[in-house]
Structure formats: structure tokens, C-alpha cells
Amino acid sequence: MAPSKTTPGDVLDGSILEAAHALRQRLVSVPELVSASLDRIAATAPLNAYVAVFAERALEVARAQQALLDAGYDLGPLQGIPIALKDNIDMAGERTTAGSAILRDNVAPADASLTAALKRAGAIIVGKNNMHEFAWGGTTINPHYGTAVNAWGERRTPSGSSGGSGIAVATRSVFASIGTDTGGSIRIPASVSGVSGIRPSIGRVSNAGVHPLAWTLDTSGPLAKSAEDCALVLRIIAGNDVRDLQTSTARVPDYLAELYRPLAGLRVGWIDDYSVSNVQPAVREAFKAALATYASLGATVLPIRIPDLDAVVDAVVVIDAAEPSAIHARWLRDRGGDYGADVRAQLEAGFAFSAVDYVQAQRYRAHLRQRFAEAFLEVDAILTPTLPYTAPRIGQGFVEIDGHDRDVLTTNMQFTSLASATGVPGLNVPIGFDHEDMPIGLQILTPELQEGRALRLGHQLQAVTGFHRRKPGAAA
């Protein structure tokens, strides 16, 4: 019996494994899939998710990958799959601007290590995603390349700094985008865009060829529709790299195989009071529903206490201010006028912190790592909301929570700073929508280098909830 008609757009809306199957069954060709990706990018252009699109180059590579498949050379499930990069990640021969005017003409001489890994796996990089300038901000309001717009609501922020990456995945213009995360820049855009996104442990993925924001906090990882797709991409880009001495020598496990293990016997903790305090009602209810779902799947869900969390945002802010200011000191002196006003102000503010402030912040990080190590003796994973609120409007400086106006810039790190400070992995998965149909995200934290456990928890939740399958109207 002949296979039913499958359009390239249908395949683009599915999972990576479904697309890989369609390519190998000749239900769609690689050039057709890449063309559908490019068409989707063009159709959603008003959202300003991309700063560069490599149409001609991507189609050329697509034809080459199809020839390889036709000749029996199977490179794995990412072969022929359209993927994007945040524009602070190098791709040889293309510009890496980091969302700035200063690097507008910066052509990468070589691939970032993660870019090279994607190419070896046969992935097709179709473009670079818009971002907050130098990744130093959470709005993706970019004075040089335009403001990015959340696909779920008119004039809603996609957050940042990987805002364009979240939009690209939400609109299904690519199967995944590689973002970077310092204080939450993968997980926060993933949350407000209704997609999945993982910040790996520090050292799990090489930062070689990635423009830095804060050396001791930076990581790179995928945003994708599902935990399963994140697992497939992370397996390719993770691993030790001689170009980055911070990378771990620990073996990279088969994340995909771990997804399907049952949750029976797994201990899942939520931080009593902290995980449900200072959050909007819709977020609290979605979070509680997620806890109930885990219990129904056989996990043991229990409250835990972790002391000394009050200073976590402050500590991350100090480090995430001082280190970028050190990186940008010469440019600030010589080219200060080329920065956007908000980023220049933040970089200048970083000089106000003393060496004592910085050392104390790093000492607190060491203390908090110990507290989390102790907590992970009690539980296998720790859950919080990813954000205490859903996507604000573009330019909105404050959000109302429990009758109080709270600053967006710092409140957005209320939960994400936990992984940033401790270096443990953090995964966002969608767990619902508020009354305005804006996505709500769950953050899953696991011990260092236990990304597979986080992905397993995310996948098992998605298998019974399906929130990750919803897409915004802009992608219809």
C-alpha cells in the first residue's frame, strides 16, 4: 500500500525522529524539508527571530545530504534536519555579531566546536537567531537588528537573551536552535515561547567559538519542541573538547535511551514555600498540576528545604555584571557609543562592584553548591516554575505578583539562578497556559552531569500532557 501523502510542512511540525523516518522512507526529501524551513522563516519574518538566513548555502548542503542518504550513508537522526544558531555562536565564513554593532563585520574564521559537531551529524544550519546585544539582557529588544516578538501574543516579549531561538522553535521554522544560558537565557525564552530548552551542566558542552558573557556562568544548549528533541541534539554537541579546558571528561550517555525508563521509585522534590511563593496564580496552579502528574506516573513527590536561597539572585547578578564588564572594558573605553543604551548602562554598572563583592558572590556559589549536593541526597530532582509569571508585554518593566509590582529584570531569575549559581543542569518544559493563552514552564533541576535524568522527567511528563505539541497562531 502506498504511503499517505506527507507535506514538508507537516514533517517540519513534527519531531526530529519523525522527520528522520520521513526522510529515510522517501516521504520527503532533504531539499524539500529545508525549503519548507526557509518558507516558514519568511512567513514569520515580522517576529524578527533571525538576523541572517543562509538560504543558498543551506539548500546546497541539503542536496549533498540527500545524495549521501541516497548512497546509503546514514549519519544519524540529525542528518538533513534544519537547525539554527544563536548569533553569538561561530559558523565558519558567516558573521557572528553577538547582536552588536561592534561585531557587525566579524566573520568567523572557523566553526564553534558545537557547530562542527552538528555539521558532522549532518544537521543543516539555516540561519542565525536574533538575541539581546552581547547576551546581556532578557528582552531581545535589539537596537541594531530589531526587536524580536513572541509568537504567542502581539507585543509580548520573547525574553532573552536567546529570544530569537525561542521564536524559531515555537514557529517550527527549525527543529532546534542552539542558545546560550548565563542567568537563564535558554530556559526563560523556552518558557515564554512554549518550547523545551536545557541548560547543561557547566562543562558539558564546549564554549569554544561562543562569544562569552560571563566566563564562570556561561553554557550552551538546545531549545527544541520536546525533551526528546533536546536529548537528540544535546547528545551530539556534548563532550570533552581540547579547545575548552573547562569541558568535562565524563562520558556522554545515550540521552535518548534514558528517556523511556519509568519514573517509579524516582524521588522528585519541590522546595517548600520557595517553589510556590511570589508567583502568579496561573503559574502556581500549573506547577501543582505538574507535581500531581508526576505522582500519578509513579514518582515520589515530596517537599524539601534548602536553606540560604535568599541571596541567589543577588550573587548571580554580581557575577553576571562584573565578568561582562571585564570582558568589555576596552570596547567600553574605545567604542562606548556603539553599544545600545541598556547594555552600555549595565556594563558600566559592573564596574561599581568591588573585588570583595565578586569574591563574596563566588563564595556564596560554593556554599549553595554544597546545599544542593545535600538536597540531592534526599531527592533525585528538584522542581520549580521556570518563571514566576508568563510573558510580559514588550517594554514592560514590572509585573504584578500577589498585589506587588516586581522588577522584570531580576524577578525573571528568581528560579533560573538556582542552576546558574550551582552549575547543575536545568530543563524547561511547557506545563500549561494562563487565561491569556500564554505558555507556562516547569524547571527540572538534577545533579551535575545528570542531564539525562532531567530529560527523562521532561519526556515522561510530555508523554501524558501534550502541552509541547501546541503551537502559536503565527506558525499555523
Selecting among 35, 37, 113, 161, the annotated active-site residue is 161
The Cα–Cα gap between 476 and 467 comes to 16
Q: CB-based contacts of 242: which residues, under 8 Å, 6+ apart?
A: none
What is the crossing angle of helices 451-465 and 281-296, to 10°?
100
3-state secondary structure of 431: strand
b/e map 446-469, b = 16+ CB within 10 Å: bbbbbbbbbbbbbbbbbeebebbe
86 in active site: yes
Of 113, 185, 191, 201, catalytic? 185
Name the E strands within 208-345. Answer: 219-224, 267-271, 300-304
Is-catalytic flag, 161? yes
Strand-strand pairing, 398-401 and 404-407: antiparallel
Say if CB 75 and CB 68 are below 8 A apart: yes
Q: Is 268 helix (H, G, I), strand (E, B) or coil?
A: strand
Q: How far apart are CA 48 and CA 157, in angstroms?
A: 12
Q: What is the DSSP letter of 154?
A: T
What's at 155, amino acid-wise? R
Residues 127/129/134/138 CA torsion (nearest 10 deg): -170
Cis peptide leading into residue 420 (ω within 30°): no
Catalytic residue among 15, 37, 86, 128: 86
Task: Give the CB-side neighbour count of residue 132, counting CA atoms within 13 A.
Answer: 29
Cα–Cα distance measured from residue 146 to residue 381, given in angstroms and rounded to the nearest whole number: 39
Q: Which residues contact 338 (CB under 8 A, 6 or more apart)?
A: 100, 101, 102, 331
**What amino acid positions are annotated as catalytic residues?**
86, 161, 185
